[in-house]
Amino acid sequence: MLKIDYTLFVQIANFLFLLLILNLIFYKPIRNVLHKRRAEIESLENGVDDLEDQAADLSYDLEENLAGARQEGSELKESIKHIGFEEEKAMMHEATKTAGDMVSQAREEMERKLAAARQSLENELAAFSKELAEKLLGRSV
C-alpha cells in the first residue's frame, strides 16, 4: 500500500530533477537539431520550388524562341523560294528570247540560202530550157 510521508516528496523532487536534467542534456539539443534540420529541408524545398519555377520560365522562353525561329526560318524559306521562282522566270524569259533570236537567224539564213538556190536554179533553168529546146527541135535556138 501507498504511504504518504516525506519519501514521496523526495521521489517527486528526484523525478522533477531528473526530468530537468534530461530536458537540458538530451531533449533540447535533439529538438534543436530536429528544428534546424526541418528549417534546412524547408529552405531546400523552397529552393527547389524556385528552381522549378525558373526551369518552367526558361522552358517557356525556349519554346517561344524556338517557335519564333521556326517562323523566321519558314519566312526565309518562302522568301528564298520566291526569289528562286523570279530568277527562274527571268532565265526562262531570256532563254525563250535567245531561242527566238536563234530561230529568226536560222530562218533568215534559210531564206538567203533558198533565194540563192532559186537564183542558181533560175540561171540554170534558162540554160536547161535552151538545151532542151535545141534537142527537141534538133536545131540551135
| Stated pTM of the model | 0.45
CA pair distance 131, 139, nearest whole angstrom: 10
CA pair distance 104, 32, nearest whole angstrom: 105
- Between these two residues, 133 and 81, which has the higher pLDDT value? 81
Each residue of 71-129: pLDDT tens digit?
999 999 999 999 999 999 999 999 999 999 999 999 999 999 999 988 888 888 888 88
Cβ atoms of 133 and 127 closer than 8 Å: no
Q: What is the 3-state secondary structure (H, E, C) of the chain?
A: CCCCCHHHHHHHHHHHHHHHHHHHHHHHHHHHHHHHHHHHHHHHHHHHHHHHHHHHHHHHHHHHHHHHHHHHHHHHHHHHHHHHHHHHHHHHHHHHHHHHHHHHHHHHHHHHHHHHHHHHHHHHHHHHHHHHHHHHHCCCC
Confidence (pLDDT) at 42: 96
Confidence (pLDDT) at 133: 83
